[in-house]
């Protein structure tokens, strides 16, 4: 695996983080960015919703999707030493791009109405030539996505609609993607297939505190859920973009953890 520069002196904690990522498909970085920064981001997000934080009667919809936000606090949240170190460990030094904005934000509000976006899926990341607008695709080498990241901006308990995660499901997805080749397939086509392939996996919930970040393998199967609690859930789920192609075959064997997991998923199948 890729162990250049800092990674030649990987500590036991670094090793454990990588092993957990390979086995489970995600790691939680507690306090990845300061809670003060999270509070500032949350107040900017409230402004975007047009809702009154003190008046639940004003929370009209179960989910409000806020597109990318590029104010200073969002750039600060995405660029802490803890996150950069973890990106190096999971994606490889010089293989990811810094982000200076975050988004999208699926903001979930306590509501009697069920949201219509709570199905199991993996994220789509690019539009191949000829694809319909919005039909984002995924392929085996995870074109245009090095990680899926979940940034928490509110306290998220089991009651607050945490994202549901199928632990280890990233290993079930490579055999589903392999037949689609470089073109890949859209999230709509892949959704039912990755749901079926990973149905046996145990469940985890992306709970935590403002400032916590979940770093997830791009193929981790996950789903939203209805919010029947009291505390609105504020989260961003941006991709970490690669600065070079992810590869499933490298003659020099210098694989990142993301690539190694894809290879493990394929080896399980073959």
Nearer to ligand AKG, 2 or 111 (CB): 111
Nearer to ligand AKG, 18 or 185 (CB): 185
**Which of residues 2, 40, 222, 227 is near ligand AKG by CB under 6 A?**
222
Asked if residue 102 lies in contact with residue 68, where contact means CB atoms within 8 angstroms, the answer is yes
Residue 201 beta carbon to ligand AKG: minimum distance, rounded to whole angstroms? 16
**Cβ neighbour number for residue 158 with a 10 Å cutoff:** 9
HSE-up of residue 253 (Cα within 13 Å, Cβ side)? 1
Give the whole-angstrom CA distance, residue 222 versus residue 205.
Answer: 9
Token match 């030493």: residue? 81
Q: Which of positions 158-197 make contact with ligand AKG (CB under 6 A)?
A: 163
In the three-class reduction of DSSP (H, G, I as helix; E, B as strand; rest coil), residue 210 is classed as: coil
Residue 58 beta carbon to ligand AKG: minimum distance, rounded to whole angstroms? 20
Asked if residue 259 lies in contact with residue 247, where contact means CB atoms within 8 angstroms, the answer is yes
Residue 122 beta carbon to ligand AKG: minimum distance, rounded to whole angstroms? 9
Closest of 255, 243, 257, 241 to residue 78, by C-alpha: 241
Nearer to ligand AKG, 14 or 126 (CB): 126
Nearer to ligand AKG, 1 or 223 (CB): 223
**Cβ neighbour number for residue 266 with a 10 Å cutoff:** 16
**Which of residues 106, 184, 210, 238 is near ligand AKG by CB under 6 A?**
106
Residue 87 beta carbon to ligand AKG: minimum distance, rounded to whole angstroms? 20
Closest of 136, 131, 119 to residue 186, by C-alpha: 136
Q: How many residues belong to the site for ligand AKG (CB under 6 A)?
A: 8
Radius of gyration (C-alpha) of the chain in whole angstroms: 18
Would you give the binding string for ligand AKG spanning residues 112-141, x where CB under 6 A is met? -----x-----x------------------
**Which of residues 77, 224, 246, 258 is near ligand AKG by CB under 6 A?**
224
List Cα–Cα distances, 62 to 38, 82, 170, 194, in angstroms: 22, 33, 28, 26
Asked if residue 37 lies in contact with residue 211, where contact means CB atoms within 8 angstroms, the answer is yes
Nearer to ligand AKG, 65 or 245 (CB): 65
φ/ψ (deg, to 5) at 52: -95, 115
Asked if residue 264 lies in contact with residue 22, where contact means CB atoms within 8 angstroms, the answer is yes
Would you give the binding string for ligand AKG spanning residues 9-48, x where CB under 6 A is met? ----------------------------------------
110 interacts with ligand AKG by CB under 6 A: no
Residue 153 beta carbon to ligand AKG: minimum distance, rounded to whole angstroms? 12
Binding positions for ligand AKG, rule: CB under 6 A: 106, 108, 117, 123, 163, 222, 224, 237
């Amino acid at each position: 695996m890729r162990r250049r520069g800092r990674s030649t002196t990987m500590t036991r904690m670094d090793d454990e983080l990588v092993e957990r990522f390979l086995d489970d498909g995600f790691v939680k970085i507690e306090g990845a960015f300061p809670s003060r920064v999270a509070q500032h981001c949350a107040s900017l997000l409230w402004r975007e919703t047009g809702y009154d934080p003190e008046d639940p009667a004003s929370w009209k919809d179960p989910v409000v999707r806020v597109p990318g936000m590029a104010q200073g606090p969002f750039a600060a949240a995405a660029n802490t030493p803890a996150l950069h170190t973890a990106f190096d460990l999971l994606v490889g030094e010089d293989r990811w791009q810094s982000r200076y904005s975050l988004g999208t934000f699926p903001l979930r509000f306590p509501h009697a109405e069920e949201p219509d976006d709570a199905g199991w899926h993996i994220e789509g990341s690019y539009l191949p030539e000829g694809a319909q607008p919005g039909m984002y695709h995924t392929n085996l080498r995870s074109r245009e996505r090095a990680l899926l990241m979940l940034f928490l901006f509110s306290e998220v308990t089991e009651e607050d609609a945490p994202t549901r995660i199928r632990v280890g499901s990233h290993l079930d997805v490579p055999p589903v993607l392999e037949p689609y080749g470089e073109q890949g397939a859209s999230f709509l086509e892949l959704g039912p297939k990755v749901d079926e392939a990973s149905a046996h996996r145990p469940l985890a919930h992306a709970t935590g505190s403002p400032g916590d970040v979940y770093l997830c393998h791009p193929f981790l199967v996950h789903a939203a859920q209805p919010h029947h609690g009291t505390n609105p859930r504020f989260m961003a789920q941006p991709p970490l973009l690669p600065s070079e192609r992810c590869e499933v075959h490298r003659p020099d064997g210098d694989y990142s953890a993301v690539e190694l997991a894809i290879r493990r998923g394929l080896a399980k199948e073959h």
